[in-house]
Every structure is written in structure tokens, then in C-alpha cells.
Chains A and B, each alone.
Chain A
Amino acid sequence: MTRLAALAATEMRLLMRDWTVLAFAFVFPAFDMVILAGVFGNQPDDGYGMQRPDEYYVAASIGVPVIALALVGLPVALASYRERGVLRRFEAFGISTVKVVAAQALVTCGLVVLGAAVVLAVAAPTYGIPHVVHPWQTALGFAAGTVTLVLLGVALGLAAPTARAAQAAGLLAFFPLFLLGGGGPPKGVMTGTMRTIADALPSTVPAISDPWLGVATVDSSLAVLAAWAAAALAVTGWLARRKAA
């Protein structure tokens, strides 16, 4: 087993003992999907681009665990490790911070997949799983969205001075991204300004749900996600250089 795999296995075990993270990552998206899909029904609606709301929320909810885990779980874990000296403990042992961050990012990606699976498992017997119009684009959107938000989560976790600050910043980022990024009301009912903001957000939801439901291709979402990923990498690099100095 490589060092990275050993670290990732330990991180996974630790996360599985934290019920708050598990609830936020697994229960909240499924719960949200059950309520919203149930409330808005299964009749095609103008506000949803003539899609069925239940199908819209099933597809959209696949992207919610990514936002929850990458923007709240990951930054808090990283900031807490830095604040408490866990990163220094590893560094003194010859395990670089990059490796610890990579292990946490890897675990987050694994949990994101698990979270999506939970949403699908709950959707299947309740509202059904909508037909995937562009499977490869959907998978690409899921992967790109996950990578981008994990990079943003890493930048946030390294920038926040304390775990509490990381939690506050993560929640501040989570709610607009969740509500405007597709987890809440559809773009069809948003005002012009809200829609402009939504289009600029690094949301995984449209990157997944648009190609899934055949509303649009993944291209436009990929461009936005790539810009955010580049910004996150730049911030992470700057933070790493500042620390090295």
C-alpha cells in the first residue's frame, strides 16, 4: 500500500466516524430531493424549461453532495489539521502537506460518488431515475464539477485561519451555490441578475443535470468550471509559496 493510499484509508475511516459530515453529505441531498421533487410534482413546467420538476430535482441533487463535501467538509478538515498541528506532525514525519491534502481530496471524491449513489438509491423507488440523454457528457460534468469544487475546497481550507473560519466561509459559499446553482429554484424562475450570478457560479448541478436531461450540452458549464479551477489552483499555489517563505 502506498503512503497516499494508507493516508486516504485512514482519512476515510475518520470521516466515517463523523456523523455530522455524513448527514450533511448523504442525508441532506436525498432529503432535499425528496421534498422538492414531491412539492413541484411530475408535470412539465415552463419554469423548468418544460422539464418534469421531479426529474429536474433528481438530476440536480446528484450535484449537491459535491457542494456539501467539497465546500464545507473538506475545508473544515484541512483548516482543523493546520490549526491543531496535525499537518506539522505529518510534515515532521516526512509526509508533505501536499500528500495529506491529496489524501483528503481523494476521500472527498470517493464520498461524493457515494453521496450521488445514495441520491439515486432514494430516487429509484420514489420518483424514478430520469433517462440520461448524454451519458458521457453527464459523467464529464460530474467529474469536472467534483474536481473544480475540491480544488476550491482545498484553497478555502488552506486560506482559512481556523477551522471555525473555514466552516463559516464554507457555509457562506455553500448556500448561494446550492440555491442559485440549481439545487433550489430553476433558472427559469430567476430574475435576470440572479441568472447572471448563477451562470458565473462554479456549480456542478447544471454541469450534470443539463446534459442528463438534454437541456444543454456540458460545454458552457465546463468553461465556467475551468476558470474557477484555474483560480483555485492559483490561490493554492500562492498560499503554498507564502508558507514556504
Chain B
Amino acid sequence: MRTPAEPASIGAMTRTAIEVRGLDKSYSGRPVVRDLSFTVEAGEIFGLAGRNGAGKTTTVEILQGLRGRDGGRVEVLGLDPARERSRLRPLVGAQLQTSALPDRLRVGEALRLFARLAGDTVDWLRLAERWGLGALLREPYGTLSGGQRQRLFLALALVNDPRLVFLDELTQGLDPVARRETWQLIEQARDHGATVVLVTHDMDEAERLCDRIAVIHEGGLLTCGRPVELIGATGTVRVRFSTPSAAALEGLERITGVAEIAHDGAVADIAADPHAVVHVAAELARRDLAATDFTVIRPSLEDAVVSLLNGGRR
């Protein structure tokens, strides 16, 4: 029996955990996933973002073998989920967007049952302690708070010591404290060797956790990259600093990459390419305008994704 503290066998992993090429899926003739392609590397936390109905959950369900596909090629840990689901199943853990347990089922019973169903590969009592469920073992599922339920689902998703974990909107509806606790648990799961696929609408969560994010729009891939790359792709940052004189700003518009300069009588607001910021700062220093509140405002990941989605009609 492997204890929960023991990392999964990374050496046995293929470098690519998931490969999706030209995936198609329709419901009653309505396309939900269209020509979707992306890869997930082993050991990373990979985010799937996009509007409601973009096809994220369907994609994740196809990757788990819970749904068939209409076209395209899918390999998960080197296996085809549609044809080799029974071989894939023990290697994968999942937390679904909408699922529950019977209200009267106690936490300890749930962990023991799922551990047994998984072949007792993990000591469920140690797992309970690791995920902070030790004090809740006799509590029925129906009495748990949202955060406690999500912690239990995360533990159940890991009860078979999986190499790949799918988490679909795990922190939806949680209070900020419970959400941050759950983020730590997800990072712990990755630190123990699991690859994590995280479906989320929470861009703070995606920015904090994900190594890479795929933005899905109308069933297809809009873009995929590291959070910082997605933010950078929006192209504009804002520079703000106090200066009483609008005249002091004259000529800054000639710096390559500066798009717009505004002054409200007290504060200057410059929209610019990220690469232009250092040149603006240098020019201000050259003019002896050493503003003490010089602030560079990057767009958030949410700004970037919204901008991509609004401009991203396929």
C-alpha cells in the first residue's frame, strides 16, 4: 500500500500527460467542441477557462472517458479514454462540476468506500488527516460546509493516488478563506506528483495556480499560454504618477509604444506598450521628474481573458 505522502511514480510518466488533436463533439447536431487541440505536460497545473457553455466540461468528460467523441484524437497518459477507459480509470482522479454524495454517508465511510473501490492503494485514514478531514470522519456529508465538501471531494479524487486529476470548478461558491485553503490543497496534489487539469472561471485562481491556461471559446481553442503571456498579449499597461504640470508630459508621446497620455490636473495617466514603460521612466528621470508614486498597472488575467474573449470570435 502506498501512503499518501509518497509521490507518484513520475519516472513512469510520459512527458505529455494529455494530447488532444482536432477534437469534435456535438449534442443533437449542435457543435459543442470544434477542432480543439492542446497538450498538457506531466506535472503541470493546466487551466481550462472560457465562458459558460464554451465546451470545457464536455472536453474534460471526454478526457475521462465519461463521454464519447465525434472526431479527433485524444490520448490521456498514453491511452485512448474512449477505448481504454478501464485501463485509464485507476490512473485518473476527478472532481466533477455537479456531483454529490448521499447526505447520510459519513466522511469516514465515503473515504473508506472509495479507497476500497480503488483497490486500497492508499491508507484512507492518513489521507483524511492529510486533507484536514480527521476531525470530520463521523460527520454526515449532508451536514458539511461547502469548503469541507470540496476538501472531501479533493481527497476522494486523490484516493486512488492518481497520476492525473481533473478538478471542475472546485472552488465555486467557497468563501475566500476556504478558497485559499483549497488552492493550497491543489498545489499539494501537484507537489505529490499529480498532473492537474483545472476548469475554472476564477481568474485569480488560474493566475495563482496554473502553469498554463487554455482559453476555450465556442468549443475551440482561442489561445494557450502561461498567465503572464496571456496578460502580455493584451498589449497595454497603464503608468500613473503625480505631477502638477501637464506641460511636463510634452514629448512623451514620441516614445515608441506610448499610446495615450492623459492628465487630470494632478495625476498623469499613460497607456503604453509594456516595453515602453522603462523608456517613459528613463525620460521622466532625465527631465528630473522623479515621481515618488510612479505606478505601473498591469491588466489582470481576468482583464486579459475578457479582452481575448470579447475580441475572440472564431
Q: Do A and B come from one complex?
A: yes
Q: Are A88 and B105 in contact (CB under 8 A)?
A: no
Q: Does A125 contact B (CB under 8 A)?
A: no
Cβ contacts under 8 Å, A10 to chain B: 105, 109, 113
Number of interface residues of B (CB under 8 A): 23
Stretch at the interface among B86-94, B239-247, B267-275: B86-94
> Can you name 15 extra interface pairs (CB under 8 A) apart from A1-B116, A93-B160?
A6-B116, A6-B117, A7-B117, A10-B113, A84-B99, A85-B98, A86-B101, A86-B102, A88-B66, A92-B64, A92-B66, A92-B96, A93-B89, A93-B156, A94-B89
A88 CA to B114 CA, complexed, in Å:
14
Q: Are A14 and B116 in contact (CB under 8 A)?
A: no
Select from chain B the residue with minimum beta-carbon distance to A81. Answer: B102
Q: Does A131 contact B (CB under 8 A)?
A: no
Those of B108-135 within 8 Å (CB) of chain A: 109, 113-114, 116-118
Q: Does B100 contact A (CB under 8 A)?
A: yes
Contact with B along A64-99 (1 / 0, CB 8 A): 000000000000000001001110110111110000
Q: How far is the CB of B15 from chain A (nearest CB, A)?
A: 25
Q: Does B180 contact A (CB under 8 A)?
A: no
Q: What are 23 contact pairs spanning A and B, CB under 8 A?
A: A1-B116, A6-B113, A6-B117, A10-B105, A14-B102, A17-B104, A81-B102, A84-B100, A85-B100, A86-B102, A88-B96, A88-B98, A88-B99, A89-B96, A89-B100, A89-B101, A92-B66, A92-B94, A93-B114, A93-B156, A93-B160, A94-B85, A94-B117
Cβ contacts under 8 Å, A85 to chain B: 96, 98-100
A95 CA to B90 CA, complexed, in Å:
11
Q: Are B100 and A86 in contact (CB under 8 A)?
A: yes
Those of A1-25 within 8 Å (CB) of chain B: 1, 3, 6-7, 10, 13-14, 17-18
Q: Contacts A13-B109, A14-B105; is A91 near B66 (CB within 8 Å)?
A: yes
Cβ contacts under 8 Å, B66 to chain A: 88, 91-92
A7 CA to B101 CA, complexed, in Å:
13
Select from chain B the residue with minimum beta-carbon distance to A244. Answer: B68
Q: How far is the CB of B142 from chain A (nearest CB, A)?
A: 11
Cβ contacts under 8 Å, B94 to chain A: 92-93
Q: How far is the CB of A53 from chain B (nearest CB, A)?
A: 40
A9 CA to B235 CA, complexed, in Å:
59
Q: How far is the CB of A186 from chain B (nearest CB, A)?
A: 39
Q: Are B96 and A3 in contact (CB under 8 A)?
A: no
A75 CA to B116 CA, complexed, in Å:
26
